[in-house]
Structure 1
Amino acid sequence: MIRNAIIDRNEENEMLDVCLLGTGGMMPLPRRKLTSLMTRYNGSNLMIDCGEGTQVAVKEKGWSFKPIDVICFTHYHADHISGLPGLLLTMGNAERTEPLTLIGPKGLVRVVSALRVIAPELPFEIQCIELTQPEETYELNGYHITAFRVNHNVTCYGYTLEIKRAGKFDAQRAKEQNIPLKCWNSLQKGETVVCEGNTYTPDMVLGAPRKGIKLTYTTDTRPVKAISDHAAGSDLFICEGMYGEQDKDDKARAYKHMTFKEAAQLAKEAQVAEMWLTHYSPSLVRPEEAVKEATDIFPNTIAARDRQSVELMFEE
């Protein structure tokens, strides 16, 4: 009974809640907010980009601002960061005191400092991580975050979020090695334990790592190999589809954005489970009418709408 209780407590958190809060690019529309993604895992919320209207979208979704622990920025064009000052003020008014981590390309401190002119006093600390390398990884609040550089007209990054999953705990092996019961929970979490003069390591009781959850998010870029490489095998690939119309190829190249077809080709190369298109041009009034441009190449494509949501589960 004790063993089951230990395992069940860990199994409860084997889900990643995902909500694409806004799907608009460049400017908000009456029924389309600017780009932002929010995820929830094990009591910690993470956000990627924070365009105008993000706060309203969070409220409409029924989620909370207070548990947001990490905000990642792809780049600093206004449609990706203009909602930050108001969000910080709202989080402060919610009596948040825990530190907030911001991740983004080089210049993050300067940009955030400028935006905070209208949000100068907050009851929590802001910790900034500036990205300078083509690829960087971080472990924060149960998220394994990989930032990878893409190809826009300013420095821009895509992000892969992974929830790693350790191998299954083998109680029989633990008993055979006389590992005290009080050490089991820590070992199951992947921690090394020193107890009664003995050192116990996770590999003594855990099987091979199991498949985790993987989500990749990228906007404002031309198609580059780094995207398909990092998106490979993702459960969900959220990708810019700035243009769905057939006559926009030249414009996409000129402004370093992507078409539906180009996004679909990346999804096909990466062999993802599902792709959501996002970051639509204001001229693309009904993206669902153009989605065949993508589904002809990658059938499991969805022209996402604001607050498109899913629960990504660990495989049994």
Structure 2
Amino acid sequence: MLDICLLGTGGMMPLPNRWLTSLMTRLNGSSLLIDCGEGTQIAIREKGWSVHPIDVICFTHYHGDHISGLPGLLLSMGNSDRTEPVVMIGPKGLERVVNALRVIAPELPFEIIFKEITGAEETFHINGYVIKAFRVSHNITCYGYSICVPRAGKFNLDKASENNVPQKYWSRLQKGEIIEEAGIRFTPEMVLGEARKGIKVTYCTDTRPVPSIVENASNSDLFICEGMYGEKGMEEKAIAHKHMTFKEAATLAMQAEVRELWLTHYSPSLIRPDEYVQEARDIFGNTKTAKDGKSNTLLFDEN
């Protein structure tokens, strides 16, 4: 299962009841963060989660409302006695930007491993997460992310017997281990059936609607997408600033055939998003206006 919490839903500047944008997930004791706007570490504490197990931090881009909370977060992680490395993923310039922000956090008890995205798409396998970054369309280089939790097939007795796999190895192979004995190599594929449907969450902010979003969000269990503007007559402003309206986000969700859409990254002027959501729901029925701290636990589909 995958725990999800949208820590902050604001764009541009924080409001008294709205932190800046950030998403946190938890999987088997390993936490992942996408973006780290101002107030992120406070939002984590309000949720009752811990900064200590954050193993991966992904950045969509380097505007202040997406990264300004990083120095304080790193200091808190260091004060939590974390010593394991932290992986950071982001567009070109990642190490330079992070090290500039670390002027106030120069000494940390853990290593930072930088993984810079250079192409239109790139995939990373870390701690059970399959993280796919895909380029979107903002006024600086920006990426969306699909976070997938794959699920292996069921144990297949006939397959194990056909491949002459000793019974003593069945359990270890089901857990993904590769075993070699007397020059013979046993792999999980020798005892497992077809891979089953996993869990998929797609997250994108600060972009115009582009085909890469539909392609990468396709069949997501949860699609978290910016809805900078909900009010009527904001289409030209969305185009000029390379953001999206509620209706545009809902259209992407419909085209990608996702299960659920959470709108986020609201303009500071959009105080009551719920008042404008119905037009989006007319396009994609399962549209939700997210608030800070909105959470869910996604489970594997047993069907």
TM-score category (smaller protein): over 0.9
CA offset digits 1:47-81 (Å, max 9, x no partner): 00000010111001100100000000000000000
Displacement after TM superposition at 1:181 (Å): 3.3
2 CA distance for matches of 1:46 and 1:177?
38
Candidates 250, 257, 264, aligned match of 2:250 = 264
2:59 corresponding residue in structure 1: 73
The answer to whether the 8 Å contact 2:223/2:253 transfers is: yes
Superposition pairs of residues 282-293 of structure 1, within 5 angstroms: 282-293=268-279
1:99 corresponding residue in structure 2: 85
1:139 corresponding residue in structure 2: 125
CA offset digits 1:235-281 (Å, max 9, x no partner): 00000000000110000000000000000000000000000000000
1:251 corresponding residue in structure 2: 237
1 CA distance for matches of 2:186 and 2:297?
35
Candidates 15, 27, 30, aligned match of 1:44 = 30
Displacement after TM superposition at 1:187 (Å): 1.6
Q: Secondary structure at the match of 2:219?
A: coil
1 CA distance for matches of 2:152 and 2:101?
40
CA offset digits 1:24-49 (Å, max 9, x no partner): 00000000000000000011000000
Superposition pairs of residues 144-163 of structure 1, within 5 angstroms: 144-163=130-149
Q: Secondary structure at the match of 1:257?
A: coil
The answer to whether the 8 Å contact 2:25/2:33 transfers is: yes
2 CA distance for matches of 1:107 and 1:311?
34
State yes or no: 1:170 paired with 2:162.
Answer: no
1:211 corresponding residue in structure 2: 197
- The alignment's TM-score, normalised by the length of structure 1, stands at 0.93
State yes or no: 1:276 paired with 2:228.
Answer: no
Structure 1, unmatched stretches of 5+, are 1-14
2:16 corresponding residue in structure 1: 30
Read off the aligned partner of 1:118 and give its amino acid letter. Answer: I
Structure 2, unmatched stretches of 5+, are none
CA offset digits 1:194-242 (Å, max 9, x no partner): 1244322222211011000000000000000000100000000000000
**Between Structure 1 and Structure 2, how many residues are aligned?**
302
CA offset digits 1:127-183 (Å, max 9, x no partner): 111111000001001000000000000000000000011110124543565423332
Candidates 106, 125, 132, aligned match of 1:120 = 106
Candidates 284, 287, 290, aligned match of 1:298 = 284
1:220 corresponding residue in structure 2: 206
2 CA distance for matches of 1:190 and 1:120?
39
2 CA distance for matches of 1:93 and 1:149?
34
1 CA distance for matches of 2:127 and 2:80?
21
Read off the aligned partner of 1:104 and give its amino acid letter. Answer: G
The answer to whether the 8 Å contact 2:202/2:216 transfers is: yes
2 CA distance for matches of 1:226 and 1:20?
23
1 CA distance for matches of 2:171 and 2:191?
11
**Stretch of structure 1 that moved more, 190-199 or 133-142:** 190-199
Q: Secondary structure at the match of 1:109?
A: helix
- The alignment's TM-score, normalised by the length of structure 2, stands at 0.97
Candidates 105, 123, 130, aligned match of 2:116 = 130
The answer to whether the 8 Å contact 2:165/2:190 transfers is: no
After TM superposition, which residue ranges in structure 1, 4 or more long, deviate above 6 angstroms? none
Q: Secondary structure at the match of 2:283?
A: coil
1 CA distance for matches of 2:232 and 2:14?
23
1:5 corresponding residue in structure 2: none
Query: Aligned-residue CA RMSD in angstroms?
Result: 1.1
1 CA distance for matches of 2:116 and 2:181?
40
The answer to whether the 8 Å contact 2:61/2:141 transfers is: yes
